Structure 1
Amino acid sequence: MTTSAEAGRAATVRGRLRPGLLLPLGDPADGAWLAESAARAVLLRAAGQVPGVVPGPLRVGLPEGDGESEGEPATEAPLPVPPGGLAPGPLRIAADFAAAGDRPLPVVSDELRAALFAAAGTELGLRAVRVDLRVTDLLDDGVTAPAAPEPPAPTGPTSPGVTDPLSTVVRAVAGVAALTDVVGPPVDRAPGRLRVEVAVTAGRRPLDVARAVRATVTVVAPEGTAVTVLVSDLR
């Protein structure tokens, strides 16, 4: 059961992410999450590279319905889920776009869907099982679709001062750009659990970096500690 304090903390996290959820990365055993705001920037960039597409609003979350998709049940999280985070399981991408009139719409839609699936899995490590598209505008024939605007720069916090000795170990992991404090302290310790929050170097796959951070921290953490990683930003 979620307490009122936990619910309030989750709401605060979503506000700081302007807005967004914390999306599960990889498999449940990976114990990793990615800020939706960071995922959205990568997905919008991929959408903007599809000829004839002008991306609009885009969200990532749970599939519609009862939390199940394509016959796959929602997964019970084996590791602590951070405030504002979704439990591990399949994800749905919902994207609006305007399309140029000089290309067949089914072709454009297929290319956009493929681009979003590829970016979610290959570039980020999200387990997207569904991409829903909505055409919001058809541009006149012969009119070239304007260039898609660059996604807004990440607005997460700058690197905070960290006194926990574990921070030195985390910073040494390849692909870690900085430690951050969106959800809580960059190194958040509690009985039986430890969560590390980082920004990942742009161009590195967040899931791969999160796995490396978790493996490194697990070695030095007390035996039996549930270690999780949150990627709040791509820099």
Structure 2
Amino acid sequence: MTMGDGWTAAVRDRLAPGRLLPLGAAAGAWLAERAAREALVRAAAGVRGAVPGRLRIGAATGPDLPDPPFPDPPFPVPPGGLAPGPLRIEAEFAAVAVGRPLPETAEEVRAVLLAAATELGLAVTEADLRVTHLLEEAPADGPAPPSPGRGVPATDDPVALAVLLVPGVAAVTEALGPPVLRTRGAVRVEFAVAADHPPAEVARAARAAAAAEAPADVAVTVVVTEVR
């Protein structure tokens, strides 16, 4: 891979929404992995002696995991989405080698990641950490700023307008397609959530508002693509 290819891949990773993660008990709601990753990395960056790196969130696997919240999902899983169930964080970080024991730093990173995931509404049951390298001192640069949000699309769709009235909804978005995607028997709405509101609670209220405007015989799902 050339330097140009690496830069392009990095930009694509910052801008692409990534996988869609089920929002715990908010049935019919998903959160873009990009938005979750940015929130978790910001939280981990506050741990003394830790410099967060690559972070992914996926479905947890293993015989000892709790049963998924929705064994038979009552809502259609959107393309690129994970079915409701427990999640797993895989995170890399660099650690400052002096001033603090590495196990102590790792345990705080794990605790912070799990707490931040809970605040987002993600049913994360484990965090697998990997120390990539040791540093003599923390770098001067802070964590990367959040990815810039796209422009707000114009829409007069009654479902979108109902969602915009929900407290905590910052804007409808079009990261995955139109703000309101209508298919046979289903309606999907995507939007951004204000950073001072819990995404899962906002998503639950937004889905209820959308369902009130949609035909009674369709399944309504929502996707939070950004936390602003």
What TM-score do you get using the length of structure 1 for normalisation? 0.83
Residue aligning to 2:9:
none
**1:118-197 correspondence runs (5 A):** 118-122=115-119, 124-140=120-136, 143=137, 145-146=138-139, 149-197=142-190
For 2:133 and 2:90, the matched residues in 1 are separated by 16
> Could you tell me whether the CA contact under 8 Å between 1:180 and 1:232 is conserved in 2?
yes
Which residue matches 2:193? Answer: 200
State the match for 2:77 in structure 1. Answer: 81
Aligned letter for 2:92?
Answer: D
Residue deviations 1:126-149 (CA, integer Å, cap 9, x gap):
110110000111223xx3x23563
Q: Is residue 114 from structure 1 mapped to residue 107 from structure 2 by the alignment?
A: no
Which residue number in structure 2 is paired with residue 5 of structure 1?
A: none
> How large is the RMSD of aligned CA atoms in angstroms?
2.1
Residues 55 and 15 of structure 1, relative CA distance in 2, 3 Å threshold: closer
Query: Taking every aligned residue pair, what percent have the same amino acid on both sides?
Result: 53
Matched, 1:37 2:34: yes
1:184 counterpart SS class: coil
Number of the residue aligned with 1:92: 88
Gaps of 5+ in 2: 1-11
Task: Check the 8 A contact 2:106/2:129 in 1, yes or no.
Answer: yes
1:95 aligned partner, one-letter code? A
Contact 1:156 1:232 in 2 (8 A): no
1:34: how far off? Answer: 0.6
The aligned residue for residue 5 of structure 2 is: none
CA distance in 2 between counterparts of 1:78 and 1:37 reads 25
User: What SS class does the counterpart of residue 30 from structure 1 fall into?
Assistant: coil
**2:24 equivalent to 1:26:** yes
Does 1:104 pair with 2:97? Answer: no
CA shift at 1:79, angstroms? Answer: 0.6
CA distance in 2, matches of 1:154, 1:207: 21
SS in 1 for 2:155: coil
Tell me what 1:71 maps to: 65
| Equivalent AA in structure 1 for residue 184 of structure 2 | P
Q: Of 202, 214, 222, which aligns to 2:207?
A: 214
Aligned partners of 2:29 and 2:222 also within 8 Å: yes
Name the CA shift for 1:157/1:167 in 2 (closer, same or farther; >3 Å). same
Aligned residues: 214
Please list the CA deviations of residues 169-212 of structure 1 after superposition, one character each: whole Å capped at 9, or x if unmatched: 11111011111112222112223221111011122211111011
TM-score by length of 2: 0.85
**C-alpha distance in structure 2 between counterparts of 1:94 and 1:172, whole Å:** 36
- 1:226 aligned to 2:226? no
